[in-house]
Amino acid sequence: MRARDREVLGAGYGLGHGLVGIGAAPDDEKARRMRDGFAALPDGDFVWTRAADGMYWLGRIAGPYRYDDSPAAREVGIHHVRPATWLDRPFGEDEVPSGVAATFARGGRNFQRIHDEGAERRTTELWDSART
């Protein structure tokens, strides 16, 4: 979770408020497609974010899309949000699926799907083991 101009502030905001989100982008076709795709994701989809300390956090989408224009959201640049359930503990780079680590290592700042067959399986394993 990152706003392009706020780096990892959005991760802390989302983790602290039980949200996953994306920044406000220009109102063009590409931005609308990204926002609409984010809003349409089903509850229960897995999400990863990376905090300022470099640790990875695993969550699941847990509710409907809304636009957040609160002062806190404006401060971190995260306006398009969904409720999320985050695990109580972070994961180190050696624990996360390689596709997750690679996506963050590329410096991507957009909400994006990780195209790695093993990533979903490993993510599910991590979720299940942390919830028991």
* Residue 31, in any domain of the structure: yes
* Residue 17, in any domain of the structure: yes
* Residue 46, in any domain of the structure: yes
Measured at the alpha carbon of residue 37, what is the angle toward residues 31 and 38, in degrees to the nearest 5?
A: 90
* Residue 2, in any domain of the structure: no
Each residue's pLDDT tens digit, 8-37:
578 899 999 999 998 866 778 888 888 999
**CATH classification of the domain holding 64:** 3.10.590
Number of domains present in the structure of the chain: 1
Each residue's pLDDT tens digit, 45-91:
999 999 989 999 999 999 999 999 999 998 888 899 999 999 999 99
Q: How confident is the model at residue 115 (pLDDT cuts 50, 70, 90)?
A: confident
* Residue 47, in any domain of the structure: yes
* Residue 1, in any domain of the structure: no
* Residue 23, in any domain of the structure: yes
| pLDDT in the model for residue 2 | 39
Answer yes or no: are the C-beta atoms of 49 and 57 closer than 8 Å: yes
* Residue 3, in any domain of the structure: no
Q: How confident is the model at residue 5 (pLDDT cuts 50, 70, 90)?
A: very low
> What's the predicted TM-score (pTM) here?
0.87
Q: What is the DSSP string of the chain?
A: --BTTTBTHHHHHHHHHTEEEEE---SSHHHHHHHHHHHHSPTT-EEEEE-TTS-EEEEEE-S--EE--SHHHHHHTEEEEEEEEEPSS-B-TTTS-HHHHHHHHTT--S------HHHHHHHHHHHHHHH-
Q: Which domain holds residue 85?
A: 9-131
